[in-house]
Amino acid sequence: MGTAGNLNVKFGAITTGLKQGLKESESLIEGTVSKINNMKGQLLAVGAIAMPVAAVRNWAAAVNDLEDKTNMSAESASRLLAVGEFVGLATEEMSGAMAKMSKTAYTAAKAIETAAASGNISQDVFTKFGIQILDSNNRLLSAEQILSNVTDKHRAMANGVEKTAMEMEIFGRSGAKLNDLLNLTEDQFQAVYESAEKTGLVLDHKTTQAFEDAEFEINASKQALKGLAVSIGAQMLPQFQALAEGTR
């Protein structure tokens, strides 16, 4: 048999192998689709469970983040985030604004201490607007109490440049977005707090910490699976190289 004949035989064998492989793949795909169709009920059930789990996981993470940034209790952080959402603030915006307020208050407390030691009056934003941030022992008040004092002052001020300047100085760039929140009445705050309690949005630290720990475990599992995939890929490299050679 000549060279052309040998090539025809080889190509014929390759074609037959490809057809057989395609038929096996088609059968495998059909079987997989059939199994998925049979599992639709279970998959829908898993999806129904996954959605609320993801929601509480995200909420717990936001509460935990606000706890860390302000040293607030989980319950207080939960209520404050609920108020933020009530006026249209994302949890990230609320958390960032409160973190900035806490930092500003800490800096102001140091300025008040330094000024008092030299018999002067501090020029910090809180002193300037007459907002209390220290208790009777000159210790910094809680972030929740400072916000309450800021809100009281804010409500009493007329709208205008001075009010906007105070918002920006205390809360940074997010200050303007907090205008609606700072204008809420005490009754409105309490109504949102009560609603958050009833609807289960108020979490304790044990719960938020449990979700954070679970997140670490999930990340560790992802790393383990990624490592397994990399290991298998490394072992399959010779086969890929041989396939590439065969293709050429």
**Is 79 exposed, middle or buried (CB count within 10 Å of its CB: 0-12, 13-18, 19+)?**
buried
In DSSP notation, 126-141 reads HHHTT---B-TTSPBP
pLDDT at residue 220 in the model = 67
pLDDT at residue 38 in the model = 62
Q: Which of 181, 113, 191, 112 has the alpha carbon at shortest distance from 147?
A: 181
- Collect the ranges in the chain with pLDDT lower than 50: 7-11, 14, 46, 48-51
Q: How far apart are alpha carbons 54 and 202 in whole angstroms?
A: 16
Q: How far apart are alpha carbons 56 and 77 in whole angstroms?
A: 15
Query: Which two structure tokens, joined as six digits, stand for 165?
Result: 């300047």
What is the per-residue pLDDT across 157-185, written as a single tens digit (0 to 9) for each?
988 889 889 999 999 887 878 888 998 88
pLDDT at residue 208 in the model = 80
pLDDT at residue 28 in the model = 54
Q: Are the beta carbons of 58 and 86 closer than 8 angstroms?
A: no
> Which H or E run includes 193?
helix 186-198
pTM of the full predicted structure? 0.64
pLDDT at residue 27 in the model = 58
pLDDT at residue 11 in the model = 46
Burial 150-174 (b: 16+ CB within 10 A, else e): bbebbeeeeeeeebeebbbbbbbeb
Count CB-CB contacts under 10 A for residue 15. Answer: 10
pLDDT at residue 9 in the model = 44
DSSP state of 158: P
